[in-house]
């Protein structure tokens, strides 16, 4: 667990932490502004920007038409000319419509211009299932973005992390895709009042253990921790690592953990096929940790189905705590 104990912390929600990170930055840096659909008086689809237009005005909290291609491109153009825009997409599924601007423009501009120009922007967007929003409003497409050189990809799991990582994302001179999990917005935790930055590319060991390493992202961090608490009663010691950013990925922390435990399970909500779990598993197989593996690596991910509407089906489509417990038992069976 991150041990930065700030002078003044209080318990606030993940959602409030996102808003606080943006507001604090906007108060001191006039180049930072936010644009997106319904982020004005409505306060954004999930209420993240509520109250911000009142404080910062419509120039810096820019309510946009439903035009993902134009607003993402405008964010790239503004970033390229000196601003530090934060783009909010209502649902991460809509990144498909902003894809050209993120993949062909934002990610590549600096490289194809021969190292000239930079695109310091943050695309913030809520991801994940669990709200009954069904197939087009519940996806986890972070692996698509992770595949693109030039983009950074962040997936915070706690209120503390989300504030510090958003600060780092806003400070970064590259396009950062910042995934907020819808179900985590209402979770809360101790968060310092002042600004702080958590470096992109630094994983957090959320729980130490010796028998098996679970690398979990976003909401799966919490499910893994719940599973770990349950397994402790059986004498199984689980280490839970939250990479926090999948690009850049803190390979060293994961490798060191696997060298210690000899077993690896990767858990994410995104569809298992082509998911980031495959990348992490491969990275371990290629690393010095390979020789320490004493059980096959397991990946837990979403089934290869669109997220269904019915709540029972929706839950069954992604890994749950009992799935993680079963996977751990299987993995440590020959301990």
Partner 1 sequence: MVTKLNLPTSITDEKLKDLYKEMWLIRYFDEKVDQFFAKGLIHGTTHLCVGQEASAAGSIAVLESRDKIVSTHRGHGHCISKEGDVNKMMAELFGRETGYCKGKGGSMHIADVEKGNLGANGIVGGGIPLAVGAALTSKMRNEDYVVLCFFGDGASNEGSFHESVNLAAIWDLPVVFICENNQYGMSGPVKDMTRVEHIADRAKAYGIPGEIVDGCDMIDIMNSVDNAVRRAREGGGPTLIEMKTYRWKGHSKSDAKKYRTREEENEWRAKDGIKRFKEALITSGVLTEEEAKALQEEANREIEEAVRFAEASPEPSIDTLEEDVYA
Partner 2 sequence: MAKEIFMPKLSSTMETGTLLQWFKEEGDSVEIGEPLFEIMTDKINIEVESYDEGILLKKYFGEDDQVPVNHVIGYIGIEGEDVPQEAPGVSGAETEEAAPAENPEPQLVAAGSAETAITDEKPRATPAARHLARTEGIELRDVQGSGPNGRVHKKDVTAHAESSPVEAKATPLARKVAAGEGVDLSAVQGSGANGKVVKQDVISAKRTTAPVAGTSARKKMSGMRKVIAERMVQSKQTAPHVTMTSEIDMTKVKELRASLLPVVEKQTGFRLSYTEILMKATAAALARHPEINVSLEGDEIVQHGHVHLGLAVAVADGLMVPVIKDVLAKGLAELTQDAKEISRRARENKLLPDQMKGSTFTISNVGMYAVDMFTPVINQPESAILGVGRMQDKPVAVNGALEIRPMMTLSLSFDHRVIDGAPAAAFLTELKDVLENPYELLV
Contact residues for partner 2 (CB under 8 A)?
Answer: 262, 290-296, 333-335
Q: Which is nearer to partner 2, 117 or 296 (CB)?
A: 296
Shortest Å distance, C-beta 271 to partner 2: 27
Q: Which two tokens stand for residue 299?
A: 């990946």
Task: Pick the binder of partner 1 from 22, 53, 76, 198 (CB under 8 A).
Answer: 76
Given a contact cutoff of 8 angstroms between Cβ atoms, the answer to whether 36 and 64 are in contact is: yes
Cβ neighbours for 229, distance < 8 A, ≥ 6 positions apart: none
Element (H, E) at 168: helix 159-171
137 catalytic per annotation: yes
Shortest Å distance, C-beta 75 to partner 1: 6
Work out whether 74 is an interface residue with partner 1 (CB under 8 A): yes
Shortest Å distance, C-beta 172 to partner 1: 8
Cross-strand partners of 19:
none
d(CA 198, CA 202): 8
d(CA 314, CA 288): 38
Q: Which two tokens stand for residue 17?
A: 């932490």
**Quick one: what does residue 150 bind among partner 1, partner 2, none, with the CB cut-off 5 to 8 Å set by partner type?**
partner 1
- Contact pattern from residue 167 through residue 186 relative to partner 1, giving x for each residue in contact according to CB under 8 A and a dash for the rest: ------xx------------
Residue of 151, 300, 332, 312 whose CA lies nearest to 221: 300
Given a contact cutoff of 8 angstroms between Cβ atoms, the answer to whether 21 and 170 are in contact is: yes
Shortest Å distance, C-beta 138 to partner 1: 24
**Residues carrying an active site annotation:** 137
Q: Which residues bind partner 1 (CB under 8 A)?
A: 31, 33, 59-60, 62, 64-65, 67-83, 85, 100-101, 104-105, 109-120, 149-150, 152, 173-174
């Amino acid at each position: 667990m991150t041990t930065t104990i700030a002078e003044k912390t209080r318990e606030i929600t993940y959602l409030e932490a996102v808003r606080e990170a943006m507001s604090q930055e906007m108060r001191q840096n006039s180049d930072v502004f936010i644009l997106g659909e319904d982020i004005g008086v409505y306060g954004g689809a999930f209420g993240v920007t509520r109250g911000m237009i009142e404080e910062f005005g419509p120039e810096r909290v820019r309510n946009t038409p439903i035009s993902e291609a134009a607003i993402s491109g405008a964010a790239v153009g503004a970033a390229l000319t000196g601003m530090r825009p934060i783009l909010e997409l209502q649902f991460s599924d809509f990144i498909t419509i902003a894809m050209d601007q993120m993949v062909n423009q934002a990610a590549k501009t600096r490289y194809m211009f021969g190292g000239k120009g930079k695109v310091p922007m943050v695309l913030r967007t809520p991801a994940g299932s669990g709200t009954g929003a069904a197939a087009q409003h519940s996806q986890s497409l972070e692996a698509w973005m992770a595949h693109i050189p030039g983009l950074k990809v962040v997936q915070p799991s706690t209120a503390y992390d989300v504030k510090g990582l958003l600060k780092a994302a806003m400070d970064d001179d590259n396009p950062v895709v910042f995934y907020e999990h819808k179900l985590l917005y209402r979770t809360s935790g101790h968060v310092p009042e002042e600004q702080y930055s958590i470096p992109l590319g630094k994983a957090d060991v959320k729980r130490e253990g010796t028998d098996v390493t679970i690398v979990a992202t976003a909401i799966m961090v919490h499910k893994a921790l719940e599973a770990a608490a349950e397994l402790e009663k059986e004498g199984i010691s689980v280490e839970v690592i939250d990479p926090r950013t999948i690009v850049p990925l803190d390979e060293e922390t994961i490798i060191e953990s696997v060298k210690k435990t000899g077993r690896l399970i990767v858990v994410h909500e995104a569809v298992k096929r082509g998911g980031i779990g495959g990348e992490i598993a491969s990275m371990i197989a290629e690393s010095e940790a390979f020789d320490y593996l004493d059980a096959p690596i397991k990946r837990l991910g979403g089934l290869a189905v669109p997220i269904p509407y019915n709540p029972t089906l929706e839950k069954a489509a992604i890994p749950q705590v009992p799935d993680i417990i079963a996977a751990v038992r299987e993995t440590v069976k020959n301990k």
